[in-house]
Amino acid sequence: MKVEQISIFMENKAGRLAEVTAILKENGVNIRALSLADTADFGVLRMIVDDTQKTDLVLKEAGFTVGKTEVVAVEVMDTPGGLHDILEVLREKNINVEYMYAFVQQNSDRAVMIFRFDDVDTAITHLSARGMTVVPGKRLYSM
């Protein structure tokens, strides 16, 4: 039920993001979701890709600092309050959301959000118990 996320740490300067995407394009890696956070000097690019092993290898070979993190993909009703319903389950169980970002899914009445929790296994257990759909990584990579 966990999804492997790639995090790339890079300088915050013009063209650096294009370098990453060029490497992925050249190696046939498809980006399924991404989030970019920055400070004045550095950025963290978090991505869900269709081949984490290849991505890790080719970016490290190009000199990038790459990490892997377990995140959780959860289906969210694409209606007002859909996200709140999930966040309320987490609040009730005192589970912290460290960060989250959206996953684009075509032709559906549901959105998918990527979450990083302080306690991934507990979050999965409680979300599943409340009828929330936790999306397995293999399904997410092929959406």
* pLDDT tens-place string over residues 67-122: 999 999 998 888 899 999 999 999 999 999 999 988 766 556 777 888 888 888 89
pLDDT of residue 103: 77
pLDDT of residue 7: 96
SS3 (DSSP) at 69: strand
Task: Provide the whole-model pTM.
Answer: 0.81
Residue % of the chain over a pLDDT of 90: 52
Query: Final residue of a domain: which of 43, 69, 95?
Result: 69
Q: Which residue has the higher pLDDT, 12 or 25?
A: 25
Q: What's the mean pLDDT when you consider all of the chain?
A: 88
pLDDT of residue 40: 76
Answer yes or no: is 13 within a domain.
yes
pLDDT of residue 106: 58
Specify whether 63 is located in the same domain as 83. Answer: no
pLDDT band at 137 (very low <50, low <70, confident <90, very high): confident
Number of structural domains (the chain) is 2
Specify whether 8 is located in the same domain as 50. Answer: yes
* Domain residue limits at 128: 71-135
pLDDT of residue 66: 97
Answer yes or no: is 140 within a domain.
no
Identify the CATH number of the domain in which residue 80 sits: 3.30.70.260
Q: Which residues contact 12 (CB under 8 A, 6 or more apart)?
A: 38, 39, 40, 41, 42, 43
Q: What are phi and psi of 20, to 5 degrees?
A: -65, -50
Answer yes or no: is 141 within a domain.
no
Specify whether 64 is located in the same domain as 76. Answer: no
